[in-house]
Amino acid sequence: MALVFRDPLRLLLLLPVLGGALAAFWWAGRARRALTQAMGVPATIGRLLPEETALRRRLKAALQACGLSFIVLALAGPQWGVELVETAAPMRHVVIALDLSLSMLTEDVKPSRLEKAKAELSLLLEQLRGNRVGIVAFAGEPAVFCPVTMDIDAAKQILQNVKVDALPRPGTAVARALDLSAAALERYPGGKAIVLLTDGEDTVDGPARVVESARRAGAAGIQVIPVGIGTPEGEPIPLKGEDGSVLGYKKDASGGTVISRLGEPSLIEAASVSGGTYYRSSLGEVEASEIASRIAALERSQAVTGHSQRYKNKFMIPLALAFLFLLAELLVPETAPRNGRQGGGISYNDGRSGEPRGARLP
């Protein structure tokens, strides 16, 4: 078990402390001898003044020097043994909800809605470093792809590898994605936001359910920030082979080609009821910076970022020893009591003559 000091340079104070104590002891002894010589014959003064022993004076000086030395040791901050402590930092918490439904393959924005969303998120994540970010992906059902974490690089890697066939159930469950994202954020304090990237077509529960989920998130202190990916005019949904070639386009039950359009009304209302802001994806992804600025305006909270080892502070031990040594120095008398009664520094015989010892009447 290694002994270390938080501020070892303070140990240099031992030199002036001990040197000063030694000098004070020497000076006091010299002054005492000079006073004795000035008052008269040393043998006579020794009988008139209270007896002092050199041993007691040395003991008191040693106790005082030890007490002051332990105070210096306490100031240097002795440490030994280790303990685990939590590390915390002020941050915000964000969940990215990404649409992986088949309609995200639509190419009304280039190269496709999904690739456009990935480009948006890559820029956004770079500006969210220092905050916690999680990822929820959804099609007909949502799933947590990345728990809330500070590892932005891991989150970016996950987003770059997601595909529309990553989830088995077809459809677009926007409302359920909001519910799952809010659940992932509920245990965190401070400012929270859900950045929702979708074309807005909830084919599972409908637009009214999207607004209701956003309202619940807002009541929990979570802003919903939707980013609409696509155009209101829309385009057919391409069906692609493994090599990326277009094999055809999605058809409806009657055999007609399905046109996927950006459904903005429910997204705009979802932002409104939760205190967020709606953005439509642009060519230059300028909204990524605006979203990052909005998130930066959220309240930050102290969040545990990990654990670290540190030495245990033990300054109380030398401080307690210093107190004991200084207390002992105060309790040790400097003078030794004389045998018999004392009166004005003159000792009397035991009533045999009534004459003070060492005094003669003329």
CA distances for 331 relative to 60, 62, 69, 183, 324, angstroms? 9, 14, 19, 66, 10
Please state at what angle helix 113-127 crosses helix 287-296, rounded to 10 degrees. Answer: 40
With a cut of 70, which residues of the chain have pLDDT below it?
1, 29, 32-33, 35-54, 85-90, 301-308, 335-362
Concatenating the DSSP letter of every residue in 300-352 gives PEEEEEEEEEEEEE-THHHHHHHHHHHHHHHHS-SBPPPSS-EETTEEBPSSS
CA–CA dist 22, 20 (Å, integer)? 5
Residue-level pLDDT at 340: 47
User: Which residues, 6+ apart, have CB-to-CB distance to 144 below 8 Å?
Assistant: 134, 135, 136, 180, 184
H-type alpha helices, the chain: 14-39, 42-48, 54-76, 113-127, 152-161, 174-185, 207-219, 264-274, 287-296, 316-331
Q: 347 - beta bridge partners?
A: 342
In 3D, which of 92, 86, 76 has the Cα closest to residue 134? 92
The half-sphere exposure of 195 on its side-chain side, counting CA atoms within 13 A, is 29
- In 3D space, the residue among 262, 203, 194, 273 whose CA is nearest the CA of residue 228 turns out to be 262
- Which token pair is 148? 């809330």
Q: Is the preceding omega at residue 111 within 30 degrees of 0, hence cis?
A: yes
User: pLDDT at position 344, please?
Assistant: 43
Amino acid at 173: A
Quick: pLDDT tens for 94-130. 999 999 999 999 999 999 999 999 999 999 999 999 8
The residues that bridge with 99 in the sheet, in sequence order, are: 138
CATH of domain 90-306: 3.40.50.410
pTM for the structure as a whole: 0.63
Boundaries of every domain in the chain: 4-77+314-347, 90-306
Torsion sign across C-alpha atoms 44, 48, 50, 51: positive
Q: How many CB atoms lie within 10 A of CB 46?
A: 12
Q: For residues 345 and 341, what is the distance between their CA atoms, to the nearest angstrom?
A: 10
The rounded radius of gyration (Å) of the Cα atoms in the chain is: 42
What is the C-alpha separation between 211 and 196, in angstroms, rounded? 13
For residue 347, the model assigns a pLDDT of 46
Q: What is the largest CA-CA distance in the chain?
A: 146
H/E stretch holding 228? strand 222-228
DSSP 8-class letter at 257:
B
Question: Any idea what DSSP says for residue 290?
Answer: H
